[in-house]
Structure 1
Amino acid sequence: MALSDISRVEIEKAIEECDRLGRDAFLKTNGFRRARSYFLVHGDGQYDSKAIVGVAHGFLPGERPLTPDTPGFSGGAEHAARLLRRLGFLVVEEPGAGGPAHDELIHRITHLKVNRSANHRSLYKPIALLWAMGRAHRGEARLLPWTETEAALKLLLQRHGRGERLRPDYPIASLHRDGVWELRDCTDPVTTAHGDAGVKRWFTTNQPLGGLAEPVYDLFRHSGVTRLAVLDELVGTFFEDLDAAPLLTEVGLGDVDPAEPQTRSGRAPEQWLLTAAEYERGCRFVEEREAKTHGRRRTSTTERPLRSRTARYLVLSRSQGRCENPGCTGQPDDVTEDNRPILEVDHVVDLTRGGRDHPSQMVALCPNCHAVKTRGRTREALRETLLRVASERHADRVGGAAGGGPPC
């Protein structure tokens, strides 16, 4: 068995065979069962990852297809799925449960490959992703004609780039290779992002219909945790020394406080609460991001700590719309114009004093309790209580210590 020798060429041949035979016949012919966890997304289809890799092995010179019982061969994260991801394919978990796993999308954004120029990361792909995320957030059409995509991204690159050329074809071709962007109605095979005239000529000739891959669009559209986690990552990684606010406003991600659960007027707070699994996934991202940003400062006219929108969102959701101070004497019965409870998210231990930007050290407080915690005579005793409450509530949401990291 030589999994490391398999390239995209062999994988694409296996995909073609699956398309030709149909899924059931392909699996039966090669002795595989339907996948239970990991699926390869390619074009408009989803494929059983282990079966595709097993059959692809047979396209190597002098090799035979692998069978489900081949020793050391599995479809799990360390074998078939890992190989496919290394080759640049999008692998998702349990597509029947609503598309690609949150962690898979975050991984792709966290490891976004971009060019560097003058010691800065290129903003081509981050700007394109933020634009598409804003469209998904508003529920706009997923796929657009190339002329519309090109015009929108040229304008954004001109206004918010670091001097990047006005060439939207570069990031779109690259995002397609990343498995994040879909291109349809193409006469020729999709170009790579390498070169100059050839890339531009391909888009001019083919005029593809394109946009975010459907499972990615669905996550940006429906998952507040994913949307905020990606926003945190893109802004924190690529705009660290820039003011991203004008760009976020223009793409439709800055008109509301992105740290708060999104609601429509008249909706009860219970309708935006997160499940325990969503809360735990969000915390995992916060912890991964925290490992890179803890103690760092963002420089503008003043220096201020880097803060996570995702962590604030998780705390507000965890609060169930009520002040988390157990001694609260009564928060306002009124709500905001968007029907949100009047709550403020607070770091129990200030970030400037070494506190964590993590739900286990953050609480949702009504304005009165927040004022007591900040400048009241009993603030030190209240802080001790709130730190315990934050730790306990966080542990309850993630099922104790499992998967949530240390509480403090």
Structure 2
Amino acid sequence: MALADISRTDVLKAIEECDRLGRDAFLKAYGFRRARTYLLVHDGRHYDSKAIVGAAHGFLPGQRPLPPDAKGFSGGAEHAARLLGRLGFDVVAAEPATGETASDDLVRRLTHLKVNRAAGRPALYKPIVLLWAMGRALRGEPRLLPWPETEDALKTLLREHGLRGERERPDYPVASLHHDGLWELRGAGEPVPTAHGDARLKRWFAEHQPLGGLAGPAHEVLRTSTLTRLAVLDALLGTFFEDLDPGPLLADTGLDGIDPSESQERSGSGPEPWLLTAAEYERGCRLIEDQEARTHGLRRTGTTRRHLRSRTARLLVLSRSRGRCENPYCTGQPADVTDRDHPLLEVDHITELASGGRDHPSQMVALCPNCHAVKTRGRTRETLRDILLRVASERHNASGGTTPPEPPLP
């Protein structure tokens, strides 16, 4: 196998053959399946990256096409995708496989980011860039920006929020996210270097001045889906900021006000963004349980130690309530609403996290202020908590949730 010997001309020959045979016939001829991670984009058409590289190998003198199970050959960022990028082709994230939503796929990609580590802690370059891009998507700002604007904005954020010694070098995380399939760089005309070295990478951005931003599918789902936005935020904060206070960074990126009880979105005559379908509720629970497996029992360190709390779980409970207090014995709740027409409800853990409760919708409840006060400090609070645990479980199951697995011991 000689991947390094494959040229742009060899890849173009494989693309031409794919166009002639058709996608399915081409994949069948070479024994490949449809790409699950990366797609090659050429002249506005999408191609399966690994299959194209495998076929291109057969155009080398004296070589045969590579089979999909060839040792050391994958379609991921380390092999096919990297080669195609080096040859000047655009490579983008593939649509998620059947049964996996764009939301699930995006959260998975962000949760499993490859980052440098210093003193055992993950570097914050990529999370800072992603949070900045998320804020832009939420505000409906243009997806792609000229490099000088991107560089100026990210330099400021890295200088003020690089709490683990990150330098003011936006080219590092942007190049790395590009190779992850999460960032588009347009107009360069030649491959983007890997995020290694120093002068070469900085010189590449200075010379090419690419137009760039979050990959199109990721930008769109973060712009339109409240559930995905909160799940991604939970994943990034839980994975990379477990011992830091991200509040100032969230404020500077415009993400500090997206708690579901006070969503910044307005939806006109359509349903409110905090109202979810049963399928969305079930998907949100799955994302929470995946994140909980990594963060259960962790506390955020600052002047005090606070448990990590899921914004996604709050959204699911608020949606499940349909705007009504979930205490079956509620004697009445305020008829008033917030400035954004949201109900005056407070999402609460029935058993406090400090006492072993879980940050999961099956053990959380939406209460009006009066019932919340009774549950917290009323004389009948213990009886009410038993009732609320039963109600939360029943409503969780009725909304599309299932009995959640127990989280790992912290």
Q: TM-score, normalised by structure 2?
A: 0.82
Deviation string 1:138-174 (CA, Å, 9 cap, x unpaired) is: 1100000001101110111111113322111100000
Partner of 2:315: 313
Q: Between 255-264 and 286-295, report the one with greater CA deviation.
A: 255-264
Structure 2 CA distance for partners of 1:244 and 1:268, relative to 1, 3 Å:
same
For the Cα contact (< 8 Å) 1:157–1:164, is it kept in 2? yes
Partner of 1:264: 266
Partner of 1:302: 304
**One-letter identity of the residue aligned with 1:41:** L
CA distance in structure 1 between the aligned counterparts of 2:110 and 2:10, rounded to whole angstroms: 27
Percent identity, aligned pairs only, is: 58
1:41 aligns with 2:29: no
Alignment of 1:1-400 (within 5 A): 16-17=12-13, 19-20=15-16, 23=19, 25-27=21-23, 30=26, 32=28, 38=36, 40-43=38-41, 46-48=46-48, 52=52, 55=55, 62-64=63-65, 83-84=75-76, 87=79, 90-93=93-96, 101-162=102-163, 163-257=165-259, 260-264=262-266, 272-398=274-400, 400=402
Structure 2 CA distance for partners of 1:271 and 1:131, relative to 1, 3 Å:
closer
CA distance in structure 1 between the aligned counterparts of 2:57 and 2:362, rounded to whole angstroms: 46
Q: Between 138-147 and 54-63, report the one with greater CA deviation.
A: 54-63
Deviation string 1:322-367 (CA, Å, 9 cap, x unpaired) is: 1111222221111000111110001111111101000110111111
Deviation string 1:267-298 (CA, Å, 9 cap, x unpaired) is: 67656411222222211121122122222222
Structure 2 residues without counterparts, runs of 5 or longer: 82-91
**One-letter identity of the residue aligned with 2:324:** R
CA distance in structure 2 between the aligned counterparts of 1:120 and 1:221, rounded to whole angstroms: 30
Q: Secondary structure at the match of 1:291?
A: helix
For the Cα contact (< 8 Å) 2:348–2:367, is it kept in 1? yes
For the Cα contact (< 8 Å) 1:91–1:104, is it kept in 2? no
For the Cα contact (< 8 Å) 1:91–1:100, is it kept in 2? no
Q: Between 262-271 and 8-17, report the one with greater CA deviation.
A: 8-17
Q: Secondary structure at the match of 1:211?
A: strand
Q: Secondary structure at the match of 1:328?
A: coil
Partner of 2:84: none
CA distance in structure 2 between the aligned counterparts of 1:227 and 1:346, rounded to whole angstroms: 21
Q: Secondary structure at the match of 1:187?
A: coil
CA distance in structure 2 between the aligned counterparts of 1:358 and 1:112, rounded to whole angstroms: 24
CA distance in structure 2 between the aligned counterparts of 1:375 and 1:6, rounded to whole angstroms: 70
Structure 1 residues without counterparts, runs of 5 or longer: 74-79
Q: CA deviation at 1:254?
A: 1.2
Partner of 1:76: none
For the Cα contact (< 8 Å) 2:50–2:75, is it kept in 1? no
For the Cα contact (< 8 Å) 2:274–2:319, is it kept in 1? yes
Q: CA deviation at 1:110?
A: 0.9
Q: Secondary structure at the match of 2:279?
A: helix
Aligned pair count reads: 388
Structure 2 CA distance for partners of 1:330 and 1:269, relative to 1, 3 Å:
farther
CA distance in structure 2 between the aligned counterparts of 1:259 and 1:271, rounded to whole angstroms: 10
Q: TM-score, normalised by structure 1?
A: 0.83
Q: CA RMSD in A?
A: 3.5
CA distance in structure 2 between the aligned counterparts of 1:322 and 1:11, rounded to whole angstroms: 63
